[in-house]
A = this chain, B = another copy of it.
Amino acid sequence: MFRHPELAERDRRILGVLVHAYIDQGEPVSSLWLANRGFGVSSATLRNIMARLEELGYVRQPHTSAGRVPTDLGYRLYVDQLLAERKSLRPTPQVEARLRRAGTVEDLLSHVSQEVSRASHQVGFAIAPDMTTFERLDFVPLPGGKLLVVVVAAGGHVTHKVIEPTEEYEPGELQQAANYLNQQFRGKSLVEVRQAVVERLREERTLYDELMARALRLASTTFEGIDPVPTLYIQGTSLLLEDVRTEDPDVTLTTLRTLFRMIEEKTRLIQLLDDYLGTTGLTVVIGSEHHDTDLQCFSLVASTYSDGHGTGAVGVIGPTRMRYSRAINAVDSLSKAISRMVSGTDM
């Protein structure tokens, strides 16, 4: 949040109107247009002001004889104003109802990404919190000697996996093994569990309790492929294409393509979003404020939420020229809703 001390109150208001108009219409805003908005000043004065704003880096001209367009810094000021006078909203009852239908956390997050996309008219996403703390696991024998293992982490996050053990196990023994492992490792993070298992296997190579050894070997194959990468749910990517028609010269096809690729890869995007996830609460990152060059044409509005165990995130991605107020409201209300639902009911 910048201070912008060098900017008089009036100038700031005018800049706000300019940004708003540009977001709305997508065309450079001229001094004449602004003069007709009842500021009580003539277009000539506005030209002077705009020249000053340009000098300070808040706006620029696409070419000499065109109106002004906000720069990323201009958007920044505008967004800071928005954030200052923001009041929290709740999602509409319909949205809440749709969310309540979700059965699993995964389902909920997928729906949230959809709702936030719909409400903001942008690409929406939701990140599950790290399923850090190991709660318990269960083994379910499958036909063909396979084994289904279900891992429950804190916050109701469940993953399952089919493994192919090298040895044979009796149903009763599986039960025992599960009990043993649950008792040993509950409360540790998944990564810790994996390390602990490996370590203990090596340490007690000549484990006198053969049963325990077999249990540990099972656990070893179970946890070896567990990726602690939080899952990313994305919706609304087709909306990115909507604006191409208007041919914003800044959002070119190439940058769009790279964004699409990022969305597909997911892992890279997650890493990137993780950086912002440090800040609690609502964050807006505008265009060139991004570290990643591929994102410098886009803005991000995101907010963290907590399920009582870890923090996840909800947000939207769109062109720098997006309706920030709408996006902020959507992200804010949904991140709060998700917090309520997920920790309140401990789904």
B-contact 0/1 string along A248-270, CB 8 Å cutoff? 00000100110011011000000
Residues of chain B with a CB closer than 8 A to A80's CB = none
- Interface residue? A156 (CB, 8 A): yes
Q: Name 18 interchain pairs, CB-CB below 8 A, sorted by A.
A: A103-B162, A103-B225, A104-B160, A104-B161, A104-B162, A135-B142, A135-B143, A136-B140, A140-B152, A146-B156, A146-B346, A148-B158, A156-B162, A237-B237, A238-B260, A238-B261, A238-B264, A244-B253
- Interface residue? A150 (CB, 8 A): yes
Query: Using a CB-CB cutoff of 8 Å, which residues 249-307 of chain A contact chain B?
Result: 253, 256-257, 260-261, 263-264
Residues of chain B with a CB closer than 8 A to A161's CB = 103-104
- Interface residue? A312 (CB, 8 A): no
Residues of chain B with a CB closer than 8 A to A245's CB = 253
Residue of B whose beta carbon sits closest to that of A346:
B144
B241 touches A256 (CB 8 A): yes
Copies in the assembly, this chain: 2
Query: Using a CB-CB cutoff of 8 Å, which residues 137-164 of chain A contact chain B?
Result: 138, 140, 142-144, 146, 148, 150, 152, 156, 158, 160-164
Known: A103-B225, A150-B148, A162-B104. A237 touches B260 (CB 8 A): yes
Residue of B whose beta carbon sits closest to that of A164:
B345
Question: Which 3 A/B pairs are nearest by Cβ-Cβ distance?
Answer: A238-B260, A144-B346, A238-B261
A160 touches B156 (CB 8 A): no
Interface size class of A (residues with CB under 8 A): 35 or more
- Interface residue? A347 (CB, 8 A): yes
- Interface residue? A236 (CB, 8 A): yes
| A308: min CB distance to chain B, Å | 11
Counting chain B CB atoms within 10 Å of each CB, the highest count among A136, A140, A150, A225 belongs to A140
Residues of chain B with a CB closer than 8 A to A104's CB = 160-162
Residue of B whose beta carbon sits closest to that of A157:
B162
- Interface residue? A329 (CB, 8 A): no
B-contact 0/1 string along A206-226, CB 8 Å cutoff? 000000000000000000010
Known: A144-B346, A241-B257. A160 touches B162 (CB 8 A): no
| A161: min CB distance to chain B, Å | 5
B237 touches A264 (CB 8 A): yes
A261 to B73, CA, bound (A): 33
| A71: min CB distance to chain B, Å | 27
- Interface residue? A122 (CB, 8 A): no
Query: Using a CB-CB cutoff of 8 Å, which residues 182-224 of chain A contact chain B?
Result: none
Q: Which of B150, B346, B347 contacts A140 (CB 8 A)?
A: B150
Residue of B whose beta carbon sits closest to that of A242:
B257
Residue of B whose beta carbon sits closest to that of A161:
B103
A236 to B135, CA, bound (A): 36
9 more contacts with CB within 8 A, not counting A104-B161, A238-B260, are A103-B163, A104-B162, A138-B138, A138-B150, A143-B346, A146-B347, A148-B150, A148-B152, A236-B264
A347 touches B253 (CB 8 A): no
